[in-house]
Amino acid sequence: MHLFEDRGFVHPVPSEITPAAVYASRRRWLQRLALGAAGASLASWAARDARASIAPPGRLAPLPSVRSTAPGAVVVDKPTAYADVTGYNNFYEFGTDKADPAARAGSLRPRPWTVVVDGEVARPRRFDLDELLRLAPMEERIYRLRCVEGWSMVIPWVGYPIAELIRRVAPTGNAKYVQFETLADPAQMPGLRSRVLDWPYVEALRLDEAMHPLALLAFGLYGEVLPNQNGAPVRTVVPWKYGFKSGKSIVRIRFSEKQPPTSWNLAAPGEYGFYSNVNPEVDHPRWSQATERRIGEDGLFARKRPTLMFNGYAPQVASLYAGLDLRRFF
């Protein structure tokens, strides 16, 4: 998630920002939805009520948790089927097609794993994965995930607030931002050969955003450890922002006084703002953000559902942006 080789231009061409493979993948997926609407495959998309207990699928190691009681931490939407959550992903380190991460992420080695926390903190540390897993009680949180491309999911995550880690490293008075950096190892991540982005991938939040009770450090989903394609072994989940703001396979967390550069904002500043809050009133330059399709529920011919301000989390997070021009700071 940060710098790498100079590509010799300032504003990437659209085909480099959203590769043709992404559009082709989306068309293939919508075609499958349309066909599935007439056949038995719809049954596999019938998700259980979010208010019921989410049973682990039994594919990976279990990650026990308790249901969170934080306001907004459990939406009543139906969870997206596990097969869709793990089979339709954006993780460009493994390829730009939605099916690439599931097909290629087997090369990722989530153990051993460490996360360096440094910068403007009084207690910089290198955390072993097991230390992170024991840092705070694990909670199950059912969050909506809205992608900037116009699709959404509802995912039962397992983790704890990022604030639990932040408090333990004691940010200094100069700390205003938190930067999250993803692993960049070409031996494990074949997508790094692509010039779509500068590697490693970097995302960032304001410190108060990262401290918000809904900002999650996630280690699992559906009651089990994270699959590789979903960001194993540790990632962030910021449910009121577009999905690309939630960094995967994190290896470094750095605190800074100045707003750090982020991967998509560097690649296309006119298309991807630093804040990237879900705002249906601010369109992407090449498509509307006013509506969305819920993967596994909304078929090709179904009416798209309206996109909710802050992805439906306005009661919890709108106060973070009081007085901020959400069109200018998109």
For 25-62, the pLDDT digits (tens) are 444 444 443 433 333 332 333 333 443 447 789 999 99
What pLDDT, on the 0 to 100 scale, is given for residue 301? 82
pTM exceeding the 0.75 threshold for the entire prediction:
yes
Q: What residues does 140 pair with on adjacent strands?
A: 67, 158
Query: Would you list the DSSP string of 110-149?
Result: -SS-EEEEEESBSS-EEEEHHHHHHSS--EEEEEEEE-TT
Domains and CATH numbers, the chain: 14-320 (3.90.420.10)
* Parts of the chain with a pLDDT under 50: 1-53
pLDDT attached to residue 46: 35
- φ and ψ at 158, to 5 degrees? -125, 125
Q: What is the mean pLDDT of the chain?
A: 87
Give the pLDDT of residue 56: 86
CB 116 within 8 A of CB 126: yes
Give 3-state DSSP helix, strand, coil % of the chain, rounded to 5.
25, 20, 50
